[in-house]
Amino acid sequence: MPNAPVLTVTLDGPAGVGKSSVASRLAGELGIAFLDTGAMFRAAAYTLGEGAWDWTQGILQQKLGDFDFTLRGSGADTELLLNGQPLPEEIRSERTGLWASQLAVVPSVRAYMKMAQIFLGQTTSLVAEGRDMGTVVFPGAQFKFFLDADPAERARRRCRQLESQGKPADYEAVLAAIILRDDQDRNRSIAPMKPAPGAVVVDTTLSTEDEVLAQVLRVVRGQA
């Protein structure tokens, strides 16, 4: 019997816009896996360490050859594993986010990530979130979205999230990191962050997460 076709939904957008929360809940509603591609870049940045973006393409290729990402489960319970292990909590720090953004401009890193993401999406139905899911990695996805929000609102959301985790939140520092990352992610030459052709662009500045999820679900379920 032929395999059932995979469903691919892409959700791109800038740092702090709430992509991961919406993507994991959407994947739960659809009963499919959630692929956090930012976590893949963060895991690589954390594992390789500061300055890896200055290594030669050959050394980076060799190091990335030892990386094997796999997915287990679905919805909010999807687990992304690196060489069979869960990703460490430290990948979520602002510092690792900035390193990931710097590493993400390097051609051999982008080529490796694209290949690994396409491989995961070949056999698994996914809600894939990141910066270039709809433009570069899954241009043939059945549904594409680009979430955006004002940087000040994204910084406020990030501070609220940090506070809810009992971590210190310096609004000005968080805003500066968001602006720096936007600049790096939008202006790089390979796979810059931008809405894919045909993507539904959702400005979430004034919307709650529930409202954004409902809007996206209406499109996927053909009710929009």
Q: Compute how many other C-beta atoms are within 10 angstroms of the C-beta atom of residue 84.
A: 8
Q: Which residue type sits at 212?
A: V
The CA distance from 40 to 109, in Å, is: 11
Q: Which residue, 97 or 151, has its beta carbon nearer to ligand DC?
A: 97
Footprint on this chain of ligand DC (rule: CB under 6 A): 15, 37-38, 41-42, 97, 100-101, 104, 130-133, 181, 185
The least CB distance from residue 42 to ligand DC, in Å, is 5
The least CB distance from residue 41 to ligand DC, in Å, is 3
Q: Kindly report the backbone phi and psi dihedral angles of residue 13, in degrees, each rounded to the nearest multiple of 5, phi listed first.
A: 155, 170
The least CB distance from residue 197 to ligand DC, in Å, is 17
Structure tokens at 144: 């594409």
First to last CA, the chain: 34
The least CB distance from residue 109 to ligand DC, in Å, is 9
Paired with 166 in beta bridges are: none
The least CB distance from residue 1 to ligand DC, in Å, is 33
Paired with 12 in beta bridges are: 130, 146
Residue count of the chain, please give it: 224
Q: Which residue, 38 or 151, has its beta carbon nearer to ligand DC?
A: 38
Q: Which residue, 131 or 157, has its beta carbon nearer to ligand DC?
A: 131
Q: Which residue, 118 or 224, has its beta carbon nearer to ligand DC?
A: 118
The least CB distance from residue 204 to ligand DC, in Å, is 15
Q: What is the largest CA-CA distance in the chain?
A: 57
The CA distance from 4 to 215, in Å, is: 27
Q: Which residue, 112 or 125, has its beta carbon nearer to ligand DC?
A: 112
Q: Compute how many other C-beta atoms are within 10 angstroms of the C-beta atom of residue 47.
A: 17
* C-alpha closest to that of 128 among 35, 219, 192, 220: 35
Q: Kindly report the backbone phi and psi dihedral angles of residue 196, in degrees, each rounded to the nearest multiple of 5, phi listed first.
A: -75, 155
The least CB distance from residue 131 to ligand DC, in Å, is 4
Q: Which residue, 32 or 134, has its beta carbon nearer to ligand DC?
A: 134
Q: Which residue, 38 or 121, has its beta carbon nearer to ligand DC?
A: 38
